[in-house]
Amino acid sequence: MTAPDDIRALLRAHLADPASQWNLGTFGAIAEFMRDSNEPVQLTDKTHLLAATTARGGIGFRNLTGVTPFASESATGQGWSHRLALCLPETACAMSRRTVLTELGPDGDALREQDREGLLFDMGLDTLQVDICIRTSTPGPIAALRAACGRPLFEAGNTTMAAIVAAGPHRVFITRFGRCEVYQPIPPADGKSPEGPHTHVLPKLMRSGRTHAATELVPAGLVPCAHLVPAHPVKDAMGRPTPFYATAQKQFQDLLMRYGDVELVRLKESVLAAIAAGAAPSTVPAPQDRFARHAVRATLRQLAASGERLPGLSAWISAHDERRVDDAGADDPGADDAADAYGHAN
């Protein structure tokens, strides 16, 4: 298990880096935090709280005891994604699992002091590793929410969700060791997620009961409660293509070496060594495991993106990087959360 101080140092460095992005939540319901390079930010580095907040949202971490970082990569589309999951044991990750809208009182743990008098309401979505809440200080929405307390938000005839969307309260996602807050307005039903911090709540996906996407490798017995997504070598925060950035590639490969799956790291090293030696693609048998296939494909795509001239690389790509039907789906934490089931992102 990684020491909490080591995890704090890692999170501290990435909170200070505007190229790093974050998400916190579960499959089908996540809050995302990111910021622009020139955006004013308040960084908090205290014994009880590591956090970054802007006028649009914030991410914060408290007691990191028991947290296990786990790094992984996935082949996505024609490229690849990467992330560092912050996991807790399945036996220690559970939150309240309320099933009805519930008033919790003033949010004394709010990341910003000015929000600590706001009233927190648990939406009652019964998710394992996260309490999905909203926060408001406005009398009208408070009265409407109080009137609906004790009822499931998505029961037939309940119009409270429409009132929540119209009011645009803060969204607050809380896990055992941290929280993500989003202050931006909720877009209308025909709108799209705003740039910057935002949330997605997709009841259809949540009903699966999954704690993470099927194509994200997570060690048995662990549950991902949050993710760090460091700078990517070939795309910016909005997913737009960029020139290959070797430093970002090396930085994540260092994380993968330290926190990734040992066998997949060895597989990646064997592919790299075989290609460097000019060996044929048959040197590495086609993996039968989904995650091993992703590891090989991501490795080949990274080599191609680097621009390094490697004789035989095209043959390796032809042999090992044909997309298979059983690899389709949500390769990226939250990637399938583009819009929620009632027609808008939060």
Residue 101 pLDDT grade (very low, low, confident, very high; cuts 50, 70, 90): very high
Residue 132 pLDDT grade (very low, low, confident, very high; cuts 50, 70, 90): very high
Return the closest-CA partner of residue 7 out of 56, 52, 67, 57: 67
Residue 333 pLDDT grade (very low, low, confident, very high; cuts 50, 70, 90): very low
Range name among 10-19, 156-165, 191-200 with the lowest pLDDT average:
191-200
Two tokens, residue 174: 């809380």
Range name among 172-176, 272-276, 313-317, 342-346 with the lowest pLDDT average:
342-346
- Across-strand partners of 89? 222
pLDDT at 340 over 60: no
Residue 334 pLDDT grade (very low, low, confident, very high; cuts 50, 70, 90): very low
Cα 293 from Cα 295, distance rounded (Å) = 5
Two tokens, residue 10: 């890692």
pLDDT at 231 over 70: yes
Two tokens, residue 93: 């990750």
To the nearest whole percent, how much of the chain has pLDDT over 90? 79
Return the closest-CA partner of residue 57 out of 78, 45, 73, 41: 41
Predicted pLDDT at 190: 63
SS3 content of the chain, % helix, strand, coil (to 5): 30, 25, 45
The arrangement of strands across the sheet holding 21-26 comes to 68-76, 79-89, 222-229, 21-26, 29-33, 198-201
Predicted pLDDT at 239: 86
Residue 329 pLDDT grade (very low, low, confident, very high; cuts 50, 70, 90): very low
Predicted pLDDT at 344: 32
Tens-place pLDDT, residues 187-205: 766 667 778 999 999 889 9
Tens-place pLDDT, residues 235-288: 998 889 999 999 999 999 999 999 999 999 999 999 999 999 999 999 999 898
The b/e string for 43-56 (b: 16+ C-beta within 10 A; e otherwise) is ebeeeeebbbbbeb
Predicted pLDDT at 282: 94
Average model confidence (pLDDT) across the chain? 90
Range name among 123-132, 215-224, 323-332 with the lowest pLDDT average:
323-332
| CB-facing half-sphere around the CA of 25: CA atoms within 13 A | 31
pLDDT at 341 over 50: no
How distant, in Å, are the alpha carbons of 53, 56, 85, 93, 227 from that of 223? 25, 28, 9, 7, 11
How distant, in Å, are the alpha carbons of 59, 177, 219, 221, 233 from that of 211? 20, 16, 12, 12, 28
pTM of the model: 0.91
